[in-house]
Amino acid sequence: MIQVLVVEDEAHLAEGLRFNLEAEGYRVQVAETGEAAQSMLRESREFDVVVLDVMLPGKSGFDVMSEMRKAGQFIPTLMLTARGHPDDVLKGFAAGADDYLTKPFELPILIARIGSLLRRREWLRSDAVNQVSSSPPQEAAESLTFADKAVNFELLELKVREQVFPLTLMEANLLRYLIQHEGKAVSRKAMLEQVWGVHEDTDTRPIDNFIVRLRRYIEDDPTHPRHLVTVRGIGYRFVASPK
Amino acid sequence: MVVPGRRKSIAFFITLGAVLIAVIVLLYIGNVLLNWRTGVLLFLGILLLAMIIAGVVLNTIFLVREIRRNEQHDAFINAVTHELKTPVTSIRLYLQTLQTREVDERKRQEFYRIMLEDSDRLMSTIEQVLRTGRLGAVSRELNPSRIDLHAVVEESLSKARAIHHLEKESIRYQSHSPVTILGDPDEVQAAVSNLIDNAIKYSGHTVNVAVETATEGKFVTLRVQDQGFGIPKMELKQIFKRFYRVSGPNATRVKGTGLGLYIVRSVAKRHRGRVWAESEGPGRGSTFVLQLPLAP
């Protein structure tokens, strides 16, 4: 499961970010100070992306950022701050930030930017894998079609007739998994394990939220799904060409 | 916020100035010793030199003060930006969350509560800035009415307890006799609230605040005592200046605009009273005393 570290001392903002990122299917940890964030990053290599506030009590976000990079921690980091002056933005990038967003921000844009940082990370990884093994590109198909819909996993796009929907990385992964198991009932637990890589007994409700969203994209009538059918007591089944 | 780099360069130029002045004085003394016979001319020269040196010193002092004020002004703008933008960001975040996601009823209620708290915070920052502007306008006459100070303190306390989610024992209030003063109810309320809010904000994790009113002669004194971060002796007077924020590792973590105590002092002055701070030093708590004349 993708892990996000949110470094934010304002409790309300931290909680709001946590709620939204968890709804996206990420696991979220919050640090209230730069010092706490640094020790969490030292102890765990599990974090995939960091959201870093600038105006923190004690050590500022800029300092935390540059010290992270000096320490060889190259985790994709998005800086989030009330300071929108060009000098501040440049200072953020100079310190080593990958992206910079000023408060107040648009929630969908924040989510999209975090998604893009994660996507870039995935691409770099698969690039590295390809170079090492010099094998043909990933065994997973890069695009799949069913009925009158086409999913492009490389561009993270879903094309339904003439309409194009952008997908988040997790949405795309979940859809790919369901398509690969076409016709079979897939349990929520299996999805958590295979798509999110979570092997613990955690809440499986986020999956339902994902299914709701996928249905909105691929179903003509999301309230009467025909492609993504609920299998009571188990999970879901994907049907490519319903009768 | 103090920029250390800038401090260093200022220190360099001030030292340079001082050294140059010392060199001029030494050279002049040497010159005088060599030509001590020239009388009146010598006296005029000394006078002129003294004036020049005084001018340079005054200029330097003025410059340093201006630079300081500029720095404080920058820090103030930063703090206000932060204090205004943070609650707006939070409110927008929750509104967009409610708009785009399915939220169950319990969470929804929690989000409403958070948004209300944020709008209160926004409101109090705006009030603080506007009040400073109004107090700065000297022409405004005080419009006094009879106020029961107890009621004012009680109201401030219950507001503060609600905002900071505090138990009743965290702030104790003791009063000795009924107190009526003459003044502007709104301004006195603001001053009292600021003192109580500060005591809580600068207390750290465990809040232990004692509030007390007592009459002394023709005055009533309100004492607000906390067991918090304390104030360095050097800064006991300065903290009442506009934009001034107390230094120290814990105190700088407290969010604020640097206007609160300035407002308290202005209100005290307008009511012919005074306010001062007492502290044994960092880490040993502090006490703020507001003294206002009793109503005749």
Please check whether residue A63 touches B, CB under 8 A: no
Please, which pLDDT band fits residue A232 given cuts at 50, 70 and 90?
A: confident
Both tokens of B96, joined, read: 């967009």
Cβ distance of A107 and B100 shorter than 8 Å? yes
Q: Burial-class residue A151 by CB neighbours within 10 Å (0-12, 13-18, 19+).
A: buried
Residues in A closer than 8 angstroms to B116, CB to CB, are: none
For the residues A120-146, what does the mean pLDDT come to?
A: 66
Please, which pLDDT band fits residue B1 given cuts at 50, 70 and 90?
A: very low
For the residues B123-146, what does the mean pLDDT come to?
A: 82
Q: How many helices (H) and strands (E) does chain A have?
A: 8, 12
Please check whether residue A87 touches B, CB under 8 A: no
Tens digits of residue pLDDT in A192-209 = 877 877 766 667 777 888
Predicted confidence at residue B139, as pLDDT, reads 61
Q: Is a pLDDT exceeding 80 seen at residue B253?
A: no
For the residues B48-62, what does the mean pLDDT come to?
A: 89
Tens digits of residue pLDDT in A148-204 = 888 888 778 888 888 888 888 888 888 888 888 888 888 888 888 778 777 666 677
Nearest chain B residue to A8 by CA: give it.
B86
Question: What is the number of residues in chain B?
Answer: 296
Please check whether residue A71 touches B, CB under 8 A: no
Both tokens of A192, joined, read: 């958590």
Cβ distance of B96 and A106 shorter than 8 Å? yes
Contact B105/A29 with Cβ under 8 angstroms? Answer: no
Q: Is a pLDDT exceeding 70 seen at residue B93?
A: yes
Predicted confidence at residue B291, as pLDDT, reads 93
Contact B251/A57 with Cβ under 8 angstroms? Answer: no
Cβ distance of A13 and B86 shorter than 8 Å? yes
Predicted confidence at residue A135, as pLDDT, reads 44
Nearest to A104 among B88, B101, B102 (CB): B88
How far B22 CA sits from the closest chain A CA (Å)? 40
Cβ distance of A108 and B249 shorter than 8 Å? no
Please, which pLDDT band fits residue B117 given cuts at 50, 70 and 90?
A: very high
Residues in B closer than 8 angstroms to A105, CB to CB, are: 89, 92-93
Task: Spell B138-151 as b/e; 16+ CB within 10 A means b.
Answer: eeeeeeeeebebee
Query: pLDDT: is B6 or B94 the higher one?
Result: B94
Cβ distance of B92 and A104 shorter than 8 Å? yes
DSSP state of B295: P
Contact B188/B257 with Cβ under 8 angstroms? Answer: no
Contact B211/B173 with Cβ under 8 angstroms? Answer: yes
Predicted confidence at residue B195, as pLDDT, reads 94
Q: Burial-class residue B295 by CB neighbours within 10 Å (0-12, 13-18, 19+).
A: middle
Query: Cα angle at B252 between B250 and B253, to 5 degrees?
Result: 70
Tell me the C-alpha to C-alpha distance, in Å, between residue B253 and each of A134, A175, B128, B229. 53, 46, 20, 11
Please check whether residue A208 touches B, CB under 8 A: no
Tens digits of residue pLDDT in B61-92 = 898 888 888 888 888 888 888 889 999 999 99
3-state class (DSSP) for residue B208: coil
Query: pLDDT: is B211 or A123 the higher one?
Result: B211
B-interface mutation test, from A10, A21, A223, most B Cβ less than 10 A away: A10
Q: Is a pLDDT exceeding 50 seen at residue A137?
A: no
Cβ distance of A82 and B97 shorter than 8 Å? no
Nearest to A10 among B86, B100, B253 (CB): B86
Predicted confidence at residue B6, as pLDDT, reads 55
Asked whether the ipTM of the predicted complex exceeds the cut of 0.85, the reply is no
Tens digits of residue pLDDT in A14-66 = 999 999 999 999 999 999 999 999 999 988 888 999 999 998 888 889 999 99
Tell me the C-alpha to C-alpha distance, in Å, between residue B171 and each of A26, B46, B98, B159, B166. 41, 63, 36, 12, 8
Cβ distance of A13 and B90 shorter than 8 Å? yes
Nearest to A107 among B85, B96, B118 (CB): B96
Q: Using CA atoms in the order A140, A144, A150, A156, what is the torsion angle rounded to 10 degrees?
A: 0
Q: Is a pLDDT exceeding 80 seen at residue A126?
A: no
Residues in A closer than 8 angstroms to B101, CB to CB, are: 20, 23, 209
Contact B71/B4 with Cβ under 8 angstroms? Answer: no
Residues in A closer than 8 angstroms to B249, CB to CB, are: 58
